[in-house]
Structure 1
Amino acid sequence: MYSPQSLHRWGITHSESMERLAYSQALRDPMAMERTNLLNMAKLSIKGLIESALSFGRTLDSDYPPLQQFFVVMEHCLKHGLKVKKSFLGYNKSLWGPLELVEKLCPEAAEISASVRDLPGLKTPLGRARAWLRLALMQKRLADYLRLLITRKDLLSDFYETSALMLEEEGAVIVGLLVGLNVIDANLCVKGEDLDSQVGVIDFSMYLKNDIDDYRSEERNSQIASILDQKNYVEELNRQLNSTVHGLQGRVDNLEKSNSKLIEELAIAKNNIIKLQEENQQLRSENNLILLKAQQHLEVTQGDVSVERDTYKQSRQGLDEMYNEARRQLKEECQLRQDVENELVVQVSMKQEMELAMKLLEKDIHEKQDTLIGLRHQLDEVKAINV
């Protein structure tokens, strides 16, 4: 933001030195003389517009003469040193070309350029340029837009000659003077004006003043300085508030994004919960069905087990009877075996006695045979003797 001291420095002290330097150069360079004249006219036009607007005390409209003259002077300043462009209609100087660059350097200016292109009554590039200047003034961004433009001399060189006002220091001085126009309010209707065919003629009678006007001008200058101080304070406060608002808006946007993200996550979570509930319900249904089948199978199994238990009981009862019968038979067989064994023992003992008796009998027979043989020998001996 420019302070009144900076305006004073750009508007008076620096400009006086520029005038002296420009005057010495103008003797050798006609383009320098043209730049000096345009700079002086811009100073007078901007100063007169600010003074008259502050004394007027109301919002300016399109019929206000100082405002009309300001646009004429600005048009001459911007046209200075424009390169001649060849088209199918001939040769012309297009003022709309360099102004159209501003939207590339400052995205905020795109709205003005789009509005100018959409105006139905404008048919020429000059009319669009005039409408652009009026809209930028109403937006109080004319100085800011032109300051961005003059800093890009590489782009402006495609439209201007090397000694054009917009490429020299006079252009920066005029842009610095334009900051003072932020104290005025203008309400201009560009739709109803015939901006294509207007003839831009500077009315020098508006800038020829006497001593009384100079005295009043000094008083107005002091009033303007105080008003500028107040305006600068208000604009600085407004800028701080705007930065605060932008910061809060950024936080609100971040919160809205976070909120939307949380809402999406909540919706996803709800959908997941619904799916889980459906799966839970399905699993419960399947569990109930499995439980029912298990109960039925258990009942069938219990019936089979009871039948098998009864069959087992009956079979066991029959087996018990068979076991008892077999045990009884075993006992009888054991008793019979015991009797047979006892009888066998008796038979063995009898056999042993018989064998002993047989041995005794044989022994007795052998003894008797020996006796008999002895008797026979004796008999034979007796017979032999008798013979």
Structure 2
Amino acid sequence: MSALTPPTDMPTPTTDKITQAAMETIYLCKFRVSMDGEWLCLRELDDISLTPDPEPTHEDPNYLMANERMNLMNMAKLSIKGLIESALNLGRTLDSDYAPLQQFFVVMEHCLKHGLKAKKTFLGQNKSFWGPLELVEKLVPEAAEITASVKDLPGLKTPVGRGRAWLRLALMQKKLSEYMKALINKKELLSEFYEPNALMMEEEGAIIAGLLVGLNVIDANFCMKGEDLDSQVGVIDFSMYLKDGNSSKGSEGDGQITAILDQKNYVEELNRHLNATVNNLQAKVDALEKSNTKLTEELAVANNRIITLQEEMERVKEESSYILESNRKGPKQDRTAEGQALSEARKHLKEETQLRLDVEKELEIQISMRQEMELAMKMLEKDVCEKQDALVSLRQQLDDLRALKHELAFKLQSSDLGVKQKTELNSRLEEKTNQMAATIKQLEQSEKDLVKQAKTLNSAANKLIPKHH
């Protein structure tokens, strides 16, 4: 695309960059994903206490890549485990509409995209995980059948769609773990496609490949002829895995509210990134419209130039025919001068013809550029619509989280009121207990007095008894 753009001061975005900006809707650098048993916890990096030892800053690319690898590995663990458990409980063959299976493919796609190098193509830079997957047939001969089937599918037009179809066919064949292990073991081949600190080049990739062995116990069946794998938006649904990380039996309400607030902050952050992406795409659309307008003007100028050259060529042809006719009829002494004029006219005609050919070539290039611009505009509009739909869905999730937060706050207030009532009842019981203790003491004192009186009476009775005798 850069080779066909007109000379201008404003850079024109390529189709693949636009597609990449629209597809990358997961932001894992801002949060750390940690495992809490069988659940997922999200914590902001700024809230995590660091050890006294010197560590890389959050802006360090190596630190961010390592954090992303850990996040993706944790997501893969949860996705694979949840898919296996739900599939065994379901007890039937899975299809493409099964939500845990869709999330598994989205997570695998993000794992394969992590750390991809940008390949320069005719249309610009391309980052697709289809290139590494094509290498599998060289390492495992059984994979050649899958690759051939993917290439023969009529509805696939992009490398991303072919990569998604390959993952589905490999899962149906129950060979996905074997293929991924064979690919990861060939680091020298993967280095052509991935950065050195990408997930597929590090230990996390081998761990994920080992976890994929468990998927051999499930049966899946896909009909990919009717699916639009090229334009699907790979967004991870964190609501399937999120759990509050600070819950306890004694403060269950506070822990749930904290978790809801963490999830709300994450969704708002994701919403902010999506808004920024939409604004960037809108700016790129405006730039493409300006470039398209300029190309239209240049095309009109080129058409006028071609018309002018055609008229001039017709005039030169008429002059040449007139000169030839004059040479036939005129005297011999004038033929030399007329011959020179004829050779000059032929030379001029040849130059004008070459100039016309150059203008026609330039016109063809401008037309092809305009067609590519229109195609990029259509793809961009489609991506913007999909992003807006995803944004509406996220806003709905945010509203649900806020409603849940209010409900939990109301429950917490109710529990606080009950605690106050119990405290007042305890204070009353303590007062009654104190009163009863005082009464008991008085009774004990009265008992002692009665005992003394009884003893006095007994002694008096004993004194009286001998007198009667």
TM-score by length of 1: 0.47
| Larger relative helix fraction | 1
Q: Whose radius of gyration is greater, 1 or 2?
A: 1
TM-score by length of 2: 0.39
